[in-house]
Amino acid sequence: MIKSKAAIAWGPGQPLSIEEVDVMPPQAGEVLVRIVATGVCHTDAFTLSGEDPEGIFPAILGHEGGGVVEQVGEGVTSVAVGDHVVPLYTPECGECKFCKSGKTNLCQKIRETQGKGLMPDGTTRFYKDGEPIFHYMGCSTFSEYTVLPEIALAKVNKEAPLDEVCLLGCGVTTGMGAVMNTAKVEEGATVAVFGLGGVGLSAIIGAAMAKADRIIAIDINESKFDLARKLGATDCINPKDYEKSIQEVIVELTDGGVDYSFECIGNVHTMRSALECCHKGWGESVIIGVAGAGQEIATRPFQLVTGRVWKGSAFGGVKGRSELPGYVDRYMAGEFSLDDFITHRMPLESINEAFDLMHEGKSIRTVIEY
């Protein structure tokens, strides 16, 4: 057992509390990881708010990390002490029906226990004064030391700076992957991106890499527009500037609608706008944002009858162990930048400030450095 500094979420709506926790040793098939850095994602805030139907407390949140393997449990063969790793909330076992299907990245091998905040054997590795603390999304990167199943670790290039490629553990891979894997945007396409946080801006990077002709960026916070343009947006639109609906505005701007749209907000109304701004006959809309518990999407079915396609994407459709290391290598080769995303850096002790900055719309990503 070791001691670890961690930010504990004791309950919904409460600030995180920085405390020392006990971390139990990795069991068979598990790995102890020292987290070097972690991003703070909107989904952490969503769970902390109490809106997340899967939210369990007390828990150690965080799922956008980069770290170093400290110790391996019995039978672990694919990573070794000293390896650099990115934790995966979407693992890849390679042997379940989902992994073998070749159709999805949603490995289900440890889904049941992960959803309950537990390791695959049904227990937790975190304790505070003898009381169990739950894991979060199988990652819990808001603890300096965390334990993950081997199948939930991507081994990445040791040359890659962990305080930057940690962002590939969620937001950046999600946005880029949704464009390149889920939608498969092609050269010359017209694209609309709703929401210009870490995920939406990454979708813009993906669309620019795919050589989309026109990339329309939509947000109600205009302070995001400069960076969106720098990353490749050709048009930036604030829906509040128009009397008519944003879908009508986009349909008019694009001679009938976009080829692809991406909802990167988590709002069921903008999900509808994203679908309805797509071109009749072929436009595809990808939902990436996570909506609150119990919320439902709506549109007129005729929107789909007339050829628009509505789909969703988790972690950009990326298979973490086999494909994420390639994203890290592409970053190292200079194909895209992560610097622009990191608007703030701070120690774990200041993590509540990172949540405030996100809520105030002042950050893209804050990186917590241990």
The catalytic residue positions are 41-43, 63-64, 93, 96, 99, 107, 111, 170, 365
What is the separation of C-alpha 181 from the centre of its chain, rounded to a whole number of angstroms? 15
167 binds ligand DAO (CB under 6 A): no
Selected from 48, 147, 172, 265, the binder of ligand NAD by CB under 6 A is 265
Of residues 158 through 177, those in contact with Zn ion by CB under 5 A are: 170
Nearer to ligand NAD, 16 or 41 (CB): 41
Nearer to ligand DAO, 46 or 370 (CB): 46
3-state secondary structure of 87: strand
Q: Tell me the closest approach of the beta carbon of residue 89 to ligand DAO, in angstroms.
A: 6
Cα angle for residues 184, 186, 191 (degrees, 5° grid): 85
Selected from 26, 29, 42, 320, the binder of ligand NAD by CB under 6 A is 42
198 binds ligand NAD (CB under 6 A): yes
Residue 58, preceding peptide bond in cis (omega within 30° of 0) = yes
Pairing of strands 2-8, 214-218: unpaired
Selected from 78, 123, 157, 221, the binder of ligand NAD by CB under 6 A is 221
107 binds ligand NAD (CB under 6 A): no
CB atoms closer than 10 angstroms to residue 17? 14
Please answer whether residues 97 and 116 qualify as being in contact, where contact means their C-beta atoms are separated by less than 8 angstroms: no
CB burial string 176-185: b at 16+ within 10 A, e below: bbbbbbbbeb
Selected from 289, 317, 320, 325, the binder of ligand NAD by CB under 6 A is 289
Nearer to ligand NAD, 119 or 170 (CB): 170
Residue showing tokens 């439902």: 296
Show Cβ contacts of residue 192 under 8 Å, excluding neighbours closer than 6 positions. 216, 218, 250, 258, 260, 261, 262, 274, 277
Q: Tell me the closest approach of the beta carbon of residue 63 to ligand DAO, in angstroms.
A: 6
DSSP 9: B
Nearer to ligand DAO, 149 or 283 (CB): 149
Cα angle for residues 223, 229, 234 (degrees, 5° grid): 125
Selected from 2, 18, 96, 290, the binder of ligand DAO by CB under 6 A is 290
Nearer to ligand DAO, 52 or 259 (CB): 52
Residue 270 is inside which H or E element, if any? helix 268-276
90 binds ligand DAO (CB under 6 A): yes
Please answer whether residues 70 and 33 qualify as being in contact, where contact means their C-beta atoms are separated by less than 8 angstroms: yes
Token pair recorded at residue 221: 């916070």
Q: Which stretch binds ligand NAD (CB under 6 A): 74-82, 203-211, 287-295, 325-333?
A: 287-295
Q: Which of 172, 326, 198 is nearest to 265 (CA)?
A: 198
CA distance 103 to 123: 31
Q: Tell me the closest approach of the beta carbon of residue 199 to ligand NAD, in angstroms.
A: 4
Please answer whether residues 229 and 300 qualify as being in contact, where contact means their C-beta atoms are separated by less than 8 angstroms: no
106 binds Zn ion (CB under 5 A): no
Residues in contact with ligand NAD, counted by CB under 6 A, come to a total of 33
- Site for Zn ion, rule CB under 5 A: 41, 43, 93, 96, 99, 107, 109, 170
Q: Where do contacts with ligand DAO occur on this chain (CB under 6 A)?
A: 41, 43, 63, 90, 106, 111, 170, 290, 314-315
> Under the rule (CB under 6 A), what is the footprint of ligand NAD?
41-43, 46, 170-171, 174, 194-200, 218-221, 224, 239, 264-267, 270, 288-290, 313-315, 358, 361
